[in-house]
């Protein structure tokens, strides 16, 4: 009878289905982890059987993140359609295993540009164009439009849209979006709108009078007895969250759920206090306390029944499945227990802010977990490897080279500008001459070619036209379709196809001997096709090219254990449980297991791998018998045992 009632409810819901919206806001301070929280909520809802999409709202005036410094804002994440977006969209894609579009990143610049273009066309018919209602209406229309875009490979809109509001409640630039979301919640109805507010509950050491009272208590002196107070050496303070919720409600939004960041789980008396002053039920208050890695956050939310609170607010309790996160849980726990290290040196320009290379970090992590290795990354500022640093800062120079020489593998990521370029070239040279596994991405690939031209072909002045426009031996040149006057959105962006020229290359084998792959790009310069014959005749190969055969996509050194460069950015499509093949190759080579990785990539068998919804996907490899072969497939690492 219960199952019948549930089936009837599901049928009725499907007939009159409306999009459900989960909004994640943040208070007190920035950097609390709203992006990871939103991603985790999306993963849990997906594991409950719902189709999920995501939107990130960034209140800055930039049209997109493409022209922003990685040191200031973190990496620029690139989507299949060429959108240059905030790094949080990378978290959404990795956790929920979806493919978003540029429409899923809303910025103040985009909204105002859209409204002003309408005003110039006369669409407002002489009306005075104002923040309310024109900007707020445009925001709401954008949300509804973006939420309907399929992102999971299926047709039709998703069931739930997770929206992250960037910034902190109280920021001036966020005001139009908060007003728009307040109106939006009324428009769609309370049963279709759930607001989760992420706030900080700091833990302070006891000082002053409180410390004196504790000392008296420890000596057995009776001071005060209250059943809801727990004496300890630390106190969890709720006042910042109280004020944040007060500000939020004053702006027209009331949170349904509180997600409290803290160093330890909230005590019951703290939850009771928050519930009373913030007017949120105790069961709707969850703690996001510090975890060994962010893969534990969805499990943390599930343990505290956050999904039940969300489903209750959205009136989805009757049709939701129990979250299936067994495989995700196993992956998170296995990651904590890895102890055999693999040390990778990342030689970059923006190492002072590690978020500048967030996708690189995650792709290395996915691959190392797949090979059951504990990832150790040495972040090396490229300029510290240069001769100038030897004179100006000899300690940094010595430390950088010590790390580089002690690495099991070297990765040189993309970047722009001259700073640190010579250090990256020296890193590529060290890897080539000492047979250290090397992966160069975008600029890292181009500089590997420059290094080869200088030190193998003997072209001492070989360079990239980006770095030296007057070089007589331009190994890397400006692409003819690029713009020399505008920076934003003018590069070769998004998913492009790379065709393998031979199945004998390591890169082709890593990709399973497919004839082509689609990977995401972000560059203005390319390897000079006029110099390719000279490179190939001296032993440097280009096993991957574009559809014309004139644009070099992959470079390899065949007589090296692993020396690969890619013009594209393979890190953007790496996923937990489905690591990028090139990163898998680097980790495999760095840990002495490349042959096994290549064999497993090329051979076909039967197995399973975890989806981001926690379920297992049956995997039939080429050449396998139609009847499933009996194997045990280890979680998330493609290793048969």
Report, as residue numbers or ranges, the catalytic residues.
442, 569, 571
What is the separation of C-alpha 485 from the centre of its chain, rounded to a whole number of angstroms? Answer: 30
Spatial CB neighbours of 104, under 8 Å, sequence gap ≥ 6: 53, 54, 55, 56, 83, 85, 89, 146, 149, 151
CB 24 within 8 A of CB 165: yes
* 321 secondary structure, DSSP code: P
Give the Cα separation of 448 and 475 in Å (integer).
10
Spatial CB neighbours of 71, under 8 Å, sequence gap ≥ 6: 350, 352, 353, 356
Q: Where are the beta strands (DSSP E) in 465-594?
A: 474-478, 492-500, 516-523, 525-527, 541-545, 552-556, 563-566
Peptide bond into 640 cis (omega under 30): no
DSSP labels for 157-213? --SEEEEEE-S-TT-GGGHHHHHHHHHHHHHH-GGGEEEEEEEE--EEE--HHHHHH
The phi and psi torsions of 39 (rounded to 5 degrees) equal -65, -40
Give the Cα separation of 525 and 479 in Å (integer).
5
The b-or-e profile of 165-200 (16+ CB within 10 A means b, else e) is bbbbbbeeebebbbbbbbbbbeebeeebbbbbbbbb
CB 418 within 8 A of CB 380: no
| Neighbouring C-beta atoms of residue 389, cutoff 10 Å | 20
CB 555 within 8 A of CB 540: yes
Give the Cα separation of 620 and 486 in Å (integer).
47
Give the Cα separation of 606 and 179 in Å (integer).
53
């Amino acid at each position: 009878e219960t199952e019948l009632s549930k089936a009837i409810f599901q049928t009725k819901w499907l007939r009159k289905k409306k999009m459900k919206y989960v909004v994640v806001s943040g208070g007190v301070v920035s950097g609390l982890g709203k992006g990871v929280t939103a991603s985790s909520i999306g993963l849990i809802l997906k594991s409950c059987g719902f189709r999920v999409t995501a939107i990130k709202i960034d209140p800055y005036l930039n049209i997109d993140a493409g022209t922003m410094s990685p040191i200031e804002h973190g990496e620029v994440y690139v989507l299949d359609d060429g959108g240059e977006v905030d790094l949080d969209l990378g978290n959404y894609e990795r956790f929920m295993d979806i493919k978003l579009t540029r429409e899923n990143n809303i910025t103040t610049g985009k909204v105002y540009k859209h409204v002003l273009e309408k005003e110039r066309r006369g669409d407002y018919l002489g009306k005075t164009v104002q923040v309310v209602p024109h900007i707020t209406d445009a925001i709401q229309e954008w949300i509804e439009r973006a939420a309907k875009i399929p992102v999971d490979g299926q047709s039709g809109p998703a069931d739930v849209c997770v929206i992250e509001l960037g910034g902190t409640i109280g920021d001036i630039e966020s005001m139009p979006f908060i007003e728009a979301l307040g109106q939006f919640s009324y428009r769609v109805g309370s049963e279709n709108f759930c607001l989760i507010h992420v706030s900080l509950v700091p833990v302070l050491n006891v000082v002053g009078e409180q410390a004196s009272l504790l000392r008296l208590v420890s000596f057995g002196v009776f001071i005060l007895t209250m059943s809801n107070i727990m004496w300890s050496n630390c106190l969890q303070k709720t006042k910042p969250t109280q004020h944040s919720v007060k500000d939020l409600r004053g702006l027209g939004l009331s949170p349904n759920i509180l997600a409290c960041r803290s160093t330890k789980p909230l005590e019951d008396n703290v939850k009771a206090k928050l519930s009373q002053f913030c007017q949120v039920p105790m069961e709707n208050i969850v703690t996001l306390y510090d975890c060994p890695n962010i893969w534990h956050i969805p499990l943390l939310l599930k343990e505290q029944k956050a999904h039940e609170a969300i489903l209750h607010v959205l009136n989805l309790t009757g049709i939701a499945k129990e979250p299936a996160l067994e495989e995700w849980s196993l992956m998170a726990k296995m990651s904590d227990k890895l102890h055999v290290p693999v040390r990778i040196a990342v030689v970059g320009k923006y190492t002072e802010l590690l978020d500048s290379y967030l996708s690189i970090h995650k792709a290395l992590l996915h691959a190392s977990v797949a090979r059951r290795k504990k990832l150790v990354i040495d972040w090396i500022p490229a300029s510290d490897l240069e001769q100038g640093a030897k004179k100006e800062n000899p300690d940094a120079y010595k430390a950088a080279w010590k790390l580089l020489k002690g690495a099991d593998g070297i990765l040189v990521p993309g970047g722009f500008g001259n700073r640190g370029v010579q250090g990256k070239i020296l890193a590529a040279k060290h890897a080539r001459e000492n047979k250290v596994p090397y992966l160069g991405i975008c600029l890292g690939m181009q500089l590997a070619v420059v290094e080869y031209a200088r030190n193998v072909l003997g072209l001492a002045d070989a360079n990239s036209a980006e770095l030296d426009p007057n070089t007589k031996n331009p190994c890397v040149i400006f692409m003819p379709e690029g713009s020399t006057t505008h920076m934003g959105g003018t590069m070769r962006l998004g998913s492009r196809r790379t065709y393998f020229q031979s199945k004998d290359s390591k890169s082709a084998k890593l990709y399973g001997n497919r004839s082509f792959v689609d990977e995401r790009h972000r560059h203005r310069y390319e390897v000079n096709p006029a110099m390719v014959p000279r490179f190939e005749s001296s032993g440097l190969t280009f096993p991957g090219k574009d559809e014309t055969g004139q644009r070099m996509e992959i470079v390899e050194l065949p007589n090296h254990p692993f020396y690969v460069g890619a013009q594209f950015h393979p890190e953007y499509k790496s996923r937990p449980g489905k690591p990028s093949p090139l990163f898998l190759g680097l980790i495999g080579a760095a840990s002495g297991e490349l042959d096994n990785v290549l064999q497993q990539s090329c051979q076909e068998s039967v197995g399973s791998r975890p989806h981001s919804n926690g379920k297992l996907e049956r995997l039939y490899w080429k050449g396998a018998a139609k009847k499933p072969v009996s194997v045990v497939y280890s979680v998330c690492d493609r290793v048969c045992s």
